[in-house]
């Protein structure tokens, strides 16, 4: 789980203060965090720009924006929303996807039921460790490897062969839910999968700040990961991953 400690002097937050004629609407702890995360994103994005141009261009722009708001104390987004500092609330990420996989329904269900299998095709997940039959520990990585975030998840619905659903435990750093429903295709020679996944932003102020700016990148990553399951399932036969 990512932890970032910032030591700053106590400083009053005055929305009417000015820096180079710009309204200062970001407090000092958040400015320091912006600079730290911004430098890392900016340097990483520029260094890898030629390998993945679109993704790293987005990271570079996000890094530049963070660095700007940290150095000036002015956040144009906060000004536009007429809010102050960490009170700004980012949007949730909600993914809905239907896939048809050329594999038997019960085999596909058995694969998803073991949540530890998900990082095999979901690149945004660093790892999932099963604690017991119902609970597991998840870790995700924010795009650009800014930080890793961990929390525990409980399986809340388990209908063998038909549905599996999970939810993060109360007071988790990340509030997430997921549900996968399985049904036979006409002819019973494949499986229709309906996937619903929701992420709410991290509660940690520093990590949340990066997540807010990178949420479009993260949302696309999760969508691509879900879509990748069809290719993974049909090429790996779902045989070597369904045994405990």
Q: What is the CATH number of the domain that holds 167?
A: 3.30.530.20
Q: Is the dihedral of CA 72, 55, 180, 156 positive or negative?
A: negative
**Residue at token pair 């309906």:** 194
Please give the residue range of the domain that contains residue 134.
93-236
Mean of the per-residue pLDDT values of the chain: 77
**Of the candidates 50, 227, 225, which has an alpha carbon nearest to the alpha carbon of residue 125?**
225
Residues 97 and 207 in one domain: yes
pLDDT value at position 96? 93
For the chain (244 residues), the mean pLDDT of every run of 10, in chain order, is 34 42 73 80 79 78 84 75 46 87 93 92 90 92 66 95 95 87 91 92 57 65 89 74 46
Closest CA to 178 of 243, 230, 120, 122: 122
Give the predicted TM-score (pTM) of the model. 0.61
Whether 56 and 153 map to the same domain: the answer is: no
156 and 193 fall within a common domain? yes
- Which backbone phi and psi does 180 adopt, to 5 degrees? -130, 125
pLDDT for 164 = 96
DSSP codes joined into one string, 189-224: SSEEEEEEEEEE--SSHHHHHHHHHHHHHHHHHHHH
170: buried, middle or exposed (CB in 10 Å: 19+, 13-18, 0-12)? Answer: exposed
Q: pLDDT value at position 39?
A: 84
In this structure, the number of other CB atoms found within 10 A of the CB of residue 90 comes to 15
For residue 106, the model assigns a pLDDT of: 93
Is 46 in a helix, a strand, or coil? helix
Q: According to the model, what pLDDT value does residue 201 have? A: 67
Domain count, the chain: 2
The secondary structure of 5-26 as a DSSP string is ----------TT-EETTEE--S
In a domain, 144, yes or no: yes
């Amino acid at each position: 789980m990512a932890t970032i400690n910032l030591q700053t002097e106590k400083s009053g937050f005055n929305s009417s203060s000015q820096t180079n004629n710009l309204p200062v609407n970001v407090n000092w702890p958040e400015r320091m965090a912006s600079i730290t995360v911004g430098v890392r994103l900016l340097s990483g994005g520029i260094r890898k720009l030629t390998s993945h141009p679109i993704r790293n261009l987005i990271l570079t722009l996000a890094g530049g924006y963070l660095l700007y708001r940290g150095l000036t104390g002015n956040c144009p987004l906060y000004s536009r929303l007429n809010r102050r500092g960490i009170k700004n609330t980012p949007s949730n990420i909600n993914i809905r996807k239907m896939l048809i996989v050329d594999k038997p329904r019960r085999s596909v269900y058995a694969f998803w039921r073991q949540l530890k299998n998900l990082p095999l095709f979901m690149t945004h997940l660093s790892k999932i460790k099963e604690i017991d039959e119902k609970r597991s520990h998840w870790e995700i990585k924010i795009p650009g490897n800014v930080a890793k975030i961990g929390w525990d998840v409980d399986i809340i619905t388990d209908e063998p062969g038909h549905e599996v659903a999970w939810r993060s435990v109360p007071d988790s750093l990340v509030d997430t839910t997921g549900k996968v429903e399985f049904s036979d295709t006409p002819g019973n020679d494949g499986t229709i999968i309906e996937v619903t996944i929701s992420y709410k932003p991290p509660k940690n102020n520093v990590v949340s700040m990066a997540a807010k700016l990178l949420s479009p990148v993260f949302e696309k990553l999760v969508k691509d990961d879900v879509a990748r399951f069809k290719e993974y399932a049909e090429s790996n036969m779902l045989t070597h991953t369904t045994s405990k």
